Amino acid sequence: MVSMVTYVGKSILKGIAVGKILFYEKEEQMVQRRSVEDAEHELARYEKAREAAQAELAQLYERALKEVGELNAGIFDVQSMMLDDEDFNDAVRNMMEAQKVNAEYAVAVTGDNFAKMFSEMDDEYFKARSADIKDASERVVKLLHGKGEEWSIGDEPVILAAKDLAPSETVQMDKSKLLGFVTELGSANSHTAILARTMNIPALIGVPVKPEMSGKMAVIDGEEGIFYVDPDEATLAAYREKLKEQEQKRKLLAELKGKENVTLSGRKIELYANIGSIGDTARALANDAGGIGLFRSEFLYLEQSGYPTEDEQFKAYKTVAETMAGKKVIIRTLDIGADKQVDYFDLGKEDNPAMGFRAIRICLARPEIFKTQLRAILRASAYGNLAVMYPMIISVDEVRRVKAMVEEIKKEMDGAGIPYGDFEQGIMIETPAAVVISDLLAKEVDFFSIGTNDLTQYTLAIDRQNAKLDDFYDSHHPAVLRMIQTVIDNGHREGCWVGICGELGADETLTETFLEMGIDELSVSPSRILPIRKIVRESKI
């Protein structure tokens, strides 16, 4: 009798998958060290393979561009740049020339050395990039061996199990045949994990996998982070029922697409999406978002080793503006500090970073960084319906300083003949200070967006990163709800529209309360738009 085996892993995407396992084992690259007499010949072989690898990466980029968006497709641009890296190439060539070894060996050893170097770095982002170095160097070795880039899942939908998956392997999968995947290695920050989330594939990492799992029935529970192998009939039936319920719910919600967010009494609000990258725009559109209520621009800073240029930022903002085709896109300016640290900003250690040097404070203290971002946003405003939102505002003076910078940039652009469009300026209400003076702030801006995560933290004096305080953290606290009502009332008196972009916006138990308060807009994760629309349309308010 076969008994069920349960494994606990780390969830990459919450979701359920039920099906047979296919164990994927990467073909071992048997690289032998050979002594060679003609180093020039090996150098020529390496250059040819490197160019062929970059051609393959260019094709993968184009494929990924269509399937997972520009930001995620950039993985393959990064890998191609790695193969152009001077240090990497010098190491490969030096080994061939000094040690008189074959190209395959020189590339494999250099790839291993660089991957190890990156994996030992303190920065999580660079740690995760070690897999990209490995992927790129293995591609060159494979080409030096004269092997192509083919592998197939097969005809039957499966749960893929593997020791690890490279980004290129993930992109090449036939998504219609992939129910989910589990890997033993990898990290939540790896490009493979990011791709899984973008492609909406249930996935777990940190699960010990074995070749003998192939062909066995399995269940991925992305909610609990559990992988069941050979599930018993009761478990299998329960998860199949969950899948059926999910599908029924999905179909029911799909019927709401294209419908207005209007209550039974005729009260209308806007339902927008929160996004953290260009790739999320597709999810916003797929879930029928009326616009983007929070575009977290810091991803441009978090995913690079240096400050993003004006053109890099402009390109990202323009892409989202054009993709949303006239729907409002609200870009939150740089919001780093606290739990979002960027090494090259050199912010230094703080005893209480949540109340420290962060967000608008950094921007006002380092205007050269802020002006670069503002200029990129203004340029992009010529290509769509953009608005800009400033985080962590606590005073009228801060707003006026920011607006003065915007006016200065507009004059510079006018002088240079650079076009920009009409755009709203708003602020996030995240502190009790901003709530108390919201009547004054409303005279300065076009809209408010309430960041309920930080507002709750600062109002209750509870660090939301501290697990010991979970029992004391109450996002429904009357003080928080009263503050939201105050902001709405003060905003409306001065002609400001008011939205919520924090997690409370997606809290279905509060949707009717927010409607009663007079909220104009809720911005939530894309998957929450249709469930909230359902509540709005059934409300009598």
DSSP codes joined into one string, 328-349: -EEEEP---BTTB--GGG----
The helix or strand, by DSSP H or E, that contains position 500, with its residue range, turns out to be: strand 497-500
Q: What angle do CA 332, 337, 343 make, to 5 degrees?
A: 115
Q: Are 473 and 462 in contact (CB under 8 A)?
A: yes
Euclidean distance between CA atoms 503 and 505, whole angstroms: 5
Q: Which residues contact 503 (CB under 8 A, 6 or more apart)?
A: 452, 453, 475
Question: What's the order of all strands across the beta sheet hosting 178-183?
Answer: 5-8, 226-229, 217-221, 16-24, 158-162, 178-183, 203-205, 10-13
The 10 Å CB-count burial string (b at 16+, else e) for 300-328 is: bbebeeebbebeebbbbbbbbbebbeebb
Euclidean distance between CA atoms 148 and 145, whole angstroms: 9
Q: Are 203 and 209 in contact (CB under 8 A)?
A: no
Tell me, yes or no, if 363 is annotated catalytic: no
Q: Are 54 and 214 in contact (CB under 8 A)?
A: no
Q: Are 519 and 495 in contact (CB under 8 A)?
A: no
The phi and psi torsions of 229 (rounded to 5 degrees) equal -110, 135
The alpha-helical segments, DSSP class H, found in 326-424 are 360-365, 367-380, 396-416
For the packed helices 124-144 and 39-82, what is the interaxial angle rounded to 10 degrees?
Answer: 140
Token representation of residue 132: 């990209």
Active-site position among 145, 191, 477, 492: 191
Pairing of strands 270-275, 226-229: unpaired
Euclidean distance between CA atoms 343 and 192, whole angstroms: 23
Give the active site residues.
191, 501
